[in-house]
């Protein structure tokens, strides 16, 4: 469903409720690189309420941090419009006092003294699940990760992109074709390719990170002793292992704000056995260390002379973990290292 259709459908749903007298749409910015998708003026028996709207097709965990409308004027109230908000996410939004409405009729709007509407439990009609596109399959997401890191790589040869992303030439070709066919990238007058709306495809990448890319990158979960924990960075460096910290440990290095309880490390697949031996790792469900596949040199980020994972992947892992401290740290990383990418 297009953003404009979502807005129109949600307006019709809001209009059904008795506190609402009239609704006018001041402006709709569809498919523009703007955080505000619509402005609504709603009149009630108790006066005018002005909403700023952010449109999301389907809300899934992890919830993007930018759902919570920072830096908006005090006279305008945030409202999320979506194709569907499931009951669990609805409960979370209500706890955070975030107003929302979806196309299935689920709605929470709480404007003290003017509007109170709370309806949950409506579900969309079941449809045959579509197969994931090549672009959002794990291998496609590996290529998309490096393209989001560096947009100029859109103009590299297919062979070059194949080698950078660690995927087959055929998959590389299909991903680039899908980017063009779906209008995610466009060709400038100088015949260079650029993202049409990088923020949109980044958010889709983020939505699919935990469900599709991350499980394919995870090599194993382990216990490491406190002594070895302290020595890990030195052991990896002394043995010249090709490895970088990510997740909470990478966040700790980037921000000096977060204190990691689990160590996440990207390592090349052919060095896993050696790393496990040197760090004396034991496979464990009650783990304090995770190994991930370092699928590309392009995800290595230089920080204060040290190699760590690119902030994009550290951010995605923190969002996936989803705790309050993780989300706070993810927001710091986004504002410091990622904001200008989008």
User: Can you name the residues that pair with 283 across neighbouring β-strands?
Assistant: 222
Judge residue 53's burial from the number of C-beta atoms within 10 Å of its C-beta, 0-12 exposed, 13-18 middle, 19 or more buried. Answer: buried
140-178: buried (b, 16+ CB within 10 Å) or exposed (e) per residue? bbbbbbbbbbeeebbebeeeebbbbbbbeeebbebbbeb
Any long-range contacts for 10-16 (C-beta under 8 Å, 24+ apart)? 10/81, 10/101, 10/102, 10/103, 11/40, 13/101, 13/103, 13/105, 13/107, 14/42, 14/101, 14/107, 14/109, 14/117
Q: Can the peptide bond before residue 62 be classed as cis, meaning omega within 30 degrees of 0?
A: yes
Higher pLDDT, 159 or 72: 159
User: Binning pLDDT at 50, 70 and 90, where does residue 265 land?
Assistant: very high
Query: What is the per-residue pLDDT for 35?
Result: 53
pLDDT at 188 over 90: no
Query: Which residue, among 266, 253, 265, has the nearest Cα to 228 in the 3D structure?
Result: 265
Q: CB of 314 within 8 A of CB of 308?
A: yes
CA distance 206 to 222: 26
For residue range 139-149, list pLDDT tens digits in order: 999 999 999 99
Least confident range from 28-37, 198-207, 248-257: namely 28-37
> What pLDDT does residue 139 have?
94
In DSSP notation, 160-210 reads HHHHHHTS-HHHHHHHHHHHHHTTSEEE-TTS-EEESSHHHHHHHHHHHII
| Mean local confidence (pLDDT), 276-286 | 91
> What are the strands of the beta sheet with 300-303, ordered from one edge?
282-283, 218-223, 289-293, 263-267, 243-246, 306-309, 300-303
Say yes or no to pLDDT of 98 above 80. Answer: yes
Give the mean pLDDT of 192-205: 87
pLDDT digits (tens, 9 = 90+) for 206-240: 888 988 999 999 999 999 999 998 899 999 999 99
* Per-range mean pLDDT, top range of 3-7, 189-193, 201-205, 319-323: 201-205
Report the chain's mean pLDDT, rounded to a whole number.
Answer: 85
Q: Once rounded to an integer, what is the mean pLDDT over residues 77-81?
A: 88
DSSP sequence for 64-83:
PGGGG--S--TTSEEEEEEE
Residue labelled with tokens 């204060």: 304
Average pLDDT over residues 31-42: 64
Contact yes or no for 118/194 (Cβ under 8 A): no
pLDDT tens profile 289-311: 999 999 999 999 988 888 899 99
Q: Which CATH architecture has domain 134-196?
A: Orthogonal Bundle (1.10)
Average pLDDT over residues 36-51: 82
Structure tokens at 210: 């935990």
CATH annotation of 216-341:
3.30.460.40
Fold annotation for 3-119? Trna Endonuclease; Chain: A, domain 1 (3.40.1350)
The CATH 3.40.1350.10 portion of the chain extends over 3-119
């Amino acid at each position: 469903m297009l953003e404009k259709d979502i807005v129109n459908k949600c307006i019709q749903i809001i209009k059904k409720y008795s506190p609402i007298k009239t609704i006018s749409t001041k402006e709709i910015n569809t498919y523009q690189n703007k955080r505000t998708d619509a402005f609504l003026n709603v009149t009630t028996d108790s006066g005018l309420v002005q909403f700023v709207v952010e449109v999301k097709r389907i809300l899934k965990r992890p919830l993007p941090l930018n759902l919570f409308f920072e830096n908006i004027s005090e006279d305008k109230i945030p409202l999320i419009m979506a194709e569907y908000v499931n009951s669990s996410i609805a409960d979370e939004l209500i706890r955070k006092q975030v107003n929302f409405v979806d196309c299935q009729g689920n709605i929470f709007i709480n404007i003290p003294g003017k509007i109170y509407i709370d309806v949950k439990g409506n579900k969309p009609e079941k449809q045959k699940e579509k197969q994931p596109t090549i672009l959002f399959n794990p291998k496609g997401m590996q290529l998309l990760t490096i393209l989001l890191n560096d947009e100029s790589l859109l103009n590299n040869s297919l062979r070059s992109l194949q080698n950078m992303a660690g995927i087959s030439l055929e998959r590389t070709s299909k991903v680039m074709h899908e980017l063009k066919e779906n209008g995610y990238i466009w060709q400038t007058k100088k015949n260079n390719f650029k993202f049409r709306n990088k923020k949109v495809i980044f958010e889709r990448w983020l939505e699919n990170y935990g469900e599709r890319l991350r499980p394919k990158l995870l090599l194993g979960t382990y216990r490491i002793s406190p002594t070895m924990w302290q020595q890990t960075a030195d052991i990896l460096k002394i043995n010249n292992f090709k490895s970088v910290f990510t997740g909470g440990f990478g966040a700790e290095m980037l921000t000096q704000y977060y204190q990691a309880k689990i160590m996440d490390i990207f390592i090349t697949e052919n060095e896993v056995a050696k790393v496990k031996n040197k760090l004396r790792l034991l496979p464990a469900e009650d783990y304090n260390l995770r190994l991930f596949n370092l699928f590309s040199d392009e995800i290595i980020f230089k920080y204060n002379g040290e190699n760590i994972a690119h902030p994009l992947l550290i951010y995605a892992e923190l969002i996936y973990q989803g705790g309050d401290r993780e989300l706070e740290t993810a927001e710091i990383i986004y504002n410091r290292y990622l904001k200008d990418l989008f």
